[in-house]
Structure 1
Amino acid sequence: MTSESNNPDPQKLFDSIMKQQLHAESKLPPVHKWNPPLSGDLDMRIDREGRWFYQGGEITRHALVKLFSTILKRVDDDYYLVTPVENWRIQVDIAPFAAHSLKVVQENGVAGLLFTLNDDSEVLLSDDGGLWVEVDGDTPIPMLKVRGGLNALINRNVFYQLADLADQEGDSLWVSSMGKRFLLGRFD
């Protein structure tokens, strides 16, 4: 047995998942290159659950939501639906995505946290990603970095799953993914 098999490299172990994620992202339009002038404000809103609304009515066609999510861009604290020739500002309550499920993937004893978002994409929590918890009053707001400045609100059921997976160290709760540790919260 080689020393490499005694100390598996988490990045190599999850290479196939990361390749799938990068492949999915490579299919996305290059919104980071598109900078047309502002076309105006669109009466479109994404609520805290990741539901999309247009002129007050919920967009219930999932394929349409998935399409819109591919042309979403964030600049500072504003969100836009952007094409090469149009740039429409929209409202986002907390985050444009919602992480609604979580599964733990394991290979050779190394665990990774794989989140599924409301647009059916998956995000593996890794060096390239991030997990943090903002606090609004006494309410924790757990967030996950998705791509290009876009984040996902971690739904309550997924946050509870993370809490169940967490290790306590002193006054802090930590979760691990791909050999890295992420702070989930602190006790007062």
Structure 2
Amino acid sequence: MSNENGNNPDFNNILSEITKAQGKNQLPPVDKWNPDFCGDMDLVIKRDGTWHYQNSPIGRQRLVKLFSTVLKKEGDNYFLVTPVEKLGIKVEDAPFLVTRMDLEDTEKGPVIVFHDNCDNSFPLSSQHALWVEQDQKTGEPSPYVTVRSNLHALIHRNVFYELVEIAEEQVIDGAKHLGVISAGEFYSLGTI
């Protein structure tokens, strides 16, 4: 992973830049950062939510969480960005994986709160919408939810089953849908 100057960006440089840029408990403003592209980094986020650097899993969850705060997607490409560097990475499916959910009662009715593998928590709402894509060959559903900006999470199969358990039927445009209600909105899990 060399940049155009022949230098090898490494974890320490990236960590240093992230630490400088981060405020307390706030995500860095990656959407405002537009540094020059420095090359590709040998980092892959697998479909199961694990992060691999140079073909080895990153075992330190704290490091994964830190890097996840500087993820940026442009078109179909993913990058880790700092104010001074932009490194291309590979993402097999979605950069995050929803690993659990809670159902909370609020004044406005039930709200589903998702939790992902990078310690993000967010309510299923118009800002964090859910949708399901189906594999054309197998018919297997792949449910997703928006985490932030244009970054999404694949919903783990066990969590999807929990959603199905609390789902209800609704007719939309003449078709019966099975879905869940959160924050007053209906989210289809698929047609029946």
The TM-score range, normalised by the shorter chain, is 0.7 to 0.9
Go from structure 1 to structure 2 and tell me whether the alpha carbon gap of 1:56 and 1:39 turns closer, same or farther (over 3 Å shift). Answer: same
Query: What is the distance in 2 between the residues matched to 1:28 and 1:90?
Result: 19
The equivalences for 1:45-124 within 5 A come to 45-108=44-107, 110-124=109-123
What is aligned with 1:18?
none
What is aligned with 2:167?
166
SS of the equivalent of 2:28 reads coil
What is aligned with 1:16?
none
What is aligned with 1:143?
144
> Is 1:186 the counterpart of 2:187 in the alignment?
no
CA RMSD of superposed structures (Å)? 1.6
- 1:127-151 superposed Cα distances (whole Å, 9 cap, x missing partner): 2111000112211110000101000
> Is 1:131 the counterpart of 2:136 in the alignment?
no
SS of the equivalent of 2:37 reads coil
What is aligned with 1:3?
none
Go from structure 1 to structure 2 and tell me whether the alpha carbon gap of 1:172 and 1:25 turns closer, same or farther (over 3 Å shift). Answer: farther
Query: What is the distance in 2 between the residues matched to 1:104 and 1:160?
Result: 14
Q: Normalized per residue, which structure has more helix?
A: 1
Query: What is the distance in 1 between the residues matched to 2:98 and 2:24?
Result: 17
Go from structure 1 to structure 2 and tell me whether the alpha carbon gap of 1:109 and 1:88 turns closer, same or farther (over 3 Å shift). Answer: closer
Gaps of 5+ in 2: 1-22
- 1:103-129 superposed Cα distances (whole Å, 9 cap, x missing partner): 100024710000000011101011211
Query: What is the distance in 2 between the residues matched to 1:60 and 1:113?
Result: 29
Query: What is the distance in 2 between the residues matched to 1:67 and 1:129?
Result: 21
- 1:47-81 superposed Cα distances (whole Å, 9 cap, x missing partner): 11111000000001000000000010011111000
Query: What is the distance in 2 between the residues matched to 1:55 and 1:179?
Result: 44
The alpha carbon displacement at 1:26 in A equals: 7.0
What is aligned with 1:32?
31
Answer yes or no: is the 8 Å Cα contact 2:108–2:184 preserved in 1: no
> Could you list the runs of 4 or more consecutive aligned residues of structure 1 that deviate by over 6 angstroms after TM superposition?
none
TM-score relative to the length of structure 1: 0.83
SS of the equivalent of 1:85 reads coil
- 1:149-181 superposed Cα distances (whole Å, 9 cap, x missing partner): 000000000000000011023531010001111
Gaps of 5+ in 1: 1-23
Q: How many aligned residue pairs are there?
A: 164
